[in-house]
Structure 1
């Protein structure tokens, strides 16, 4: 029985046992070959997948998050799911443990990173779905309290500046290698096409959500839509205009003007670093990773709010259910399309640069500098 047949049966009200334990060391178990692996980051993101997809095989793997120790797979193992835990450390450790697990063969697997994010209101609206070509890690910088430096640096707008420089918007001289990742643009565009085909199924959210959008100019005041634009990674949950605008400009600097920041999350560069390292060894396909983020909140308040702390802590933005619903609607459509059109997807070949700031996977980078100080 295939994945889509199972979904049809579930829609008729049939139920199935949802727990089945598999050994992790038995030599009798062949390697499983998922066609699609869905990656969420925390409980709210995983709920739609666990409630609406029949995962017959649910088993623990070593090295996964203590909060989310299980992998979930359909009967035929064509579709699997994992939750990493929030933040860069959790994402990196979960993905590395998962990719190195000997139960799986990932040589043909497509990956859908499927989570919510903050949104830059100059580019996107609440409840919208974004799919990235670039993931940019913005918190690898020097930082001082702005109050300590403002007297001597009146033209600075924050306390951040790039490693090895004395300019907030200079390209860093010192890099770690995880600052920028570029993904398969053709696969991104195909995912955008599929997501846009279900855009009319998106929910607008609560009355509070609808009212929230009206506080902003376009495009933040629009109904939820699908857009190809880029994601930031930072463990620091930043908010308000000064930092949001600074990171918007820094994104352009770090990608030589190629990336447009519209969503901000805590995990994607960490997950992509695991993919880069294992793709280098042939374990996984970096060119088959899709990064999808829906917008659960705005990263800065509307212009008439004078107290960003109140906005951040107290103002009711209406909850995040619309972003979660639309995230699953678009994500499920892509998973379904990959399964139904497998041969077409396997023929998608990237013609843009793929990889990190070090050129780990080869090819000619379209961002970065000729040389860096690497520690």
Structure 2
């Protein structure tokens, strides 16, 4: 959907009028000795504001999927009557879907951190959407830690931890000098795998609204999750952990982000320890995905300018496969990983809607008296990144560090 020239002109005029600096003009000679007129300012501190005075769409809930298999259950479950295309979305997922009255919309970001960040930046900056009161459901499938979850389980995160920001040394290059190392991953600015990073990028950890997370978790707990096939159930019994052998459940636990797909006992042990290290022991790793920290970085930046409300974000990950092999396959991780038939992707996709829709329904049904103001589920915990970008002091990390 495109704005008319009239709308486009007025949008540009409104944005220009919002600039907090004064403009004068001066003449500068160009390379061909002709004269051009350039804008100059009374100081060198340029700052811009971003307004959306002509926003058309003000959804109450926005569902974000990562790829088509995660998208399609929502398209089947909800009555999406409108298709909207805006610049900057994924080339293969260029359509935003909205219900008849535009109260619920859905976008597919594309897989991986780059796609997630690019798509959500384009969406949140688009002048057609006023997202300042929108609730976000980031809903995707993931790998699962069998000590915490089983296939088909629905997990709601308080923390998202980016574990891919590390140095990496091949096993053959450190085993003779450092045989006690569990892995060749080393946090930035450190000289061993077990130290807190010496420098950070700021995207390593994000903390979400625990009160809203708990509400979404409570609502999801009232529905029956799809148990999967007999083969799924049979495969779960190969594990020893009670969580892995039990039917799918709704769990409050935390998600790891890495573009590098990892599997196996060694890496899972390492990343579980890193999760505790990065959050001062607060987070519990249970799901592994590729996009969430990238998405939350976008939301953090947009919150600073009032374009979204960071308190209104829920991260849902359902478990499509185990991230480590059962004991019977402990010495054949490659076969375990490549034998995708033993996962649970079917019921993990079904359970995205099963676990996510109760929250959506609650927001729509109680918009006027509960959700519009945001007061009832206003966060009581710290929100945001390690820099304290949104205010307050992080309850994770350490007192000082270098910014890379």
Q: TM-score, normalised by structure 1?
A: 0.92
Number of the residue aligned with 1:262: 286
Q: Secondary structure at the match of 2:308?
A: coil
Aligned to 1:344: 370
- 2:218 maps to what in 1? 193
Tell me if structure 1 keeps the 8 A contact 2:318–2:349: yes
CA distance in 2, matches of 1:196, 1:270: 28
- Structure with higher Rg: it is 2
Residue 53 of structure 1, CA deviation: 0.9
Q: How large is the Cα RMSD of the aligned pairs?
A: 1.2
How far apart are the structure 1 equivalents of 2:288 and 2:165?
Answer: 15
Compared CA separation, residues 267 and 25, structure 1 to 2 (3 A) = farther
- Give distance in 2, aligned partners of 1:118 and 1:39: 18
- Give matches, 1:83-122, under 5 Å: 83-122=108-147
Task: Identify which of 156, 163, 171 aligns with 1:131.
Answer: 156
Instruction: Tell me how far 1:319 sits from its aligned partner.
Output: 4.5
1:252 aligns with 2:281: no
1:308 matched residue in structure 2:
333
CA contact (8 A) 2:319 2:344 kept: no
Q: Are 2:151 and 2:248, in contact at CA under 8 Å, matched by a contact in 1?
A: yes
Q: Deviations over 1:171-190 (max 9, x none)?
A: 10110000000000000000
Question: Any idea what SS the aligned residue of 1:62 has?
Answer: strand
Contact conserved, 1:33 with 1:106, CA < 8 A, in 2?
yes
Alignment of 1:324-343 (within 5 A): 324-342=349-367, 343=369
Q: Does structure 2 conserve the Cα–Cα contact (< 8 Å) formed by 1:208 and 1:318? A: no
- CA change 1:315–1:350 in 2 (3 A) is closer
Instruction: Give the corresponding residue for 1:23.
Output: 2
Give the drift of 1:154. Answer: 1.4
1:206 paired residue number: 229
Which ranges in structure 1 are unaligned for 5 or more consecutive residues? Answer: 1-21
**CA shift at 1:332, angstroms?**
1.2
CA distance in 1, matches of 2:252, 2:310: 19
Describe the superposition over 1:189-212 as per-residue Cα deviations: whole angstroms up to 9, x where unpaired.
0001001011xx211111110011
1:221 and 2:245 equivalent?
yes
Contact (CA 8 Å) 1:133, 1:184: kept in 2 or not? yes
Aligned equivalents of 1:121, 1:24: Cα separation in 2: 49
> Could you tell me how far 1:107 is from its partner in structure 2?
1.1
- What CA distance in whole angstroms lies between the structure 1 residues aligned with 2:154 and 2:379? 22
Q: Distance in 1 between matches of 2:211 and 2:343?
A: 35
Which residue of structure 1 lines up, in the alignment, with residue 15 of structure 2?
none
TM-score (norm 2): 0.85
CA distance in 2, matches of 1:298, 1:71: 31
Q: Partners in 2 of 1:359 and 1:236 — Cα distance?
A: 27
Report whether the alignment pairs 1:275 with 2:299.
yes
2:151/2:344 contact within 8 Å kept = no
Give the corresponding residue for 1:287: 311
Distance across 2 between alignment mates of 1:245 and 1:96: 34
SS class of match (1:69): strand
TM-superposed deviation, 1:328: 1.1
Q: Quick one: distance in 2 between partners of 1:315 and 1:44?
A: 15
Paired residues in the alignment total 352
Secondary structure at 2:280's aligned position in 1? coil
CA apart distance, 1:308: 0.3
Q: Which stretch of the first structure deviates more once superposed, 22-31 or 220-229? A: 22-31
Mapped partners of 1:360, 1:179: distance in 2:
13
Is the 8 Å Cα contact of residues 24 and 61 (structure 1) preserved in structure 2?
Answer: no
2:320–2:343 CA contact under 8 A, matched in 1 = no
Instruction: Tell me, in whole angstroms, the C-alpha distance in 2 between the residues paired with 1:152 and 1:131.
Output: 41
Structure 1 position 24, deviation (Å)? 3.8
Which structure carries more strand by proportion?
A: 2
Change in 2 beyond 3 A, CA 1:242/1:318: closer
Q: Is the 2:134–2:309 Cα contact (8 Å) retained in structure 1?
A: yes
| Residue in structure 1 matching 2:385, options 342, 356, 362 | 356
> What CA deviation, in whole Å up to 9, does each residue of 1:290-335 have, x standing for no partner?
0000000000100121210011113621541110111111111111
